């Protein structure tokens, strides 16, 4: 079956550049990996990927278009997402230094679910998928939903791979600092920086219109 996808090489290049661009997801993964270790960083990266899978499915099913068209639906998701972003940021800021080489162990639960929910509850991510992916799909062609699903999956695989590299790099650097007694300080400040960014993003999301 031939999917109605065009300019595939351009899509791959654009997706790679977008996935390599530092953003809140990358900082969240880096802060989690440095503060809580490699396993937590990997879970955070997979959680972010799970959130993107959710948005890919929404786009393929046409529900993202409904979200874009309905002010009530957009506002409901927006406020839920803003509240969760702020709550996650506060939990990161409140994290206490651990006695082990892992710097700060927040008491906010699994980094997988943190990453997944911060993505899933952000309507801006849904609208990004709705705006970006259809540019590479022939209008009016059959199997558009499958094409959206295929392109979204490829985009998400690339983003998850980048975030996994970030998780390994951040946890590795933290382990290196641990040998010199500096991991605790570095991991704590990275996590606090991520927490402050998440609070800022939550406030920005709450104040946004579209």
pLDDT digits (tens, 9 = 90+) for 17-66: 999 988 878 888 888 888 788 999 999 999 999 999 998 998 888 877 76
Annotated domain spans of the chain: 24-136+163-207
pLDDT of residue 184: 55
pLDDT at 167: 94
Q: Are 64 and 180 in contact (CB under 8 A)?
A: no
Handedness of CA 154, 168, 113, 132 (dihedral sign): negative
pLDDT of residue 48: 95
CA dihedral 75, 79, 80, 85 (to 10 degrees): 140
pLDDT value at position 98? Answer: 46
So what's the pLDDT on residue 106?
A: 44
Supply the pLDDT for residue 165: 97
Q: Are 116 and 50 in contact (CB under 8 A)?
A: yes
Name the stretches of the chain with pLDDT < 70: 1, 66-68, 95-109, 177-188, 190, 209-210
Compute the distance between CA of residue 117 and CA of residue 134 in angstroms, rounded to an integer. 24
Of the candidates 21, 71, 62, 51, the residue with the CA atom closest to the CA atom of residue 111? 51
Q: Write phi, then psi, for 104 (nearest 5 degrees).
A: -140, 130
Q: Closest by alpha carbon to 152, among 129, 123, 126? A: 129
pLDDT of residue 101: 38
Q: pTM (2 decimals)?
A: 0.78
């Amino acid at each position: 079956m031939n999917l109605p996808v065009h300019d595939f090489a351009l899509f791959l290049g654009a997706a790679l550049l977008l996935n390599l661009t530092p953003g809140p997801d990358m900082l969240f993964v880096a802060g989690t990996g440095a503060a809580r270790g490699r396993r937590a960083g990997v879970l955070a990266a997979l959680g972010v990927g799970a959130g993107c899978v959710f948005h890919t499915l929404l786009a393929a099913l046409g529900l993202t278009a409904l979200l874009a068209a309905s002010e009530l639906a957009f506002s409901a998701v927006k406020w839920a997402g803003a509240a969760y972003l702020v709550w996650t940021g506060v939990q990161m800021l409140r994290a206490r230094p651990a006695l082990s080489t892992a710097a700060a162990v927040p008491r906010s639960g699994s980094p997988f679910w943190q990453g997944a929910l911060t993505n899933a509850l952000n309507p801006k991510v849904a609208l990004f998928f709705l705006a970006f992916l259809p540019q590479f799909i022939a209008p009016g062609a059959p199997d558009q939903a499958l094409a959206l699903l295929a392109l979204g999956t490829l985009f998400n695989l690339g983003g998850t791979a980048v975030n996994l590299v970030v998780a390994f790099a951040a946890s590795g650097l933290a382990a290196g600092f641990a040998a010199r007694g500096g991991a605790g300080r570095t991991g704590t400040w990275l996590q606090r920086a991520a927490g402050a960014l998440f609070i800022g993003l939550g406030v920005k999301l709450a104040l946004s219109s579209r």
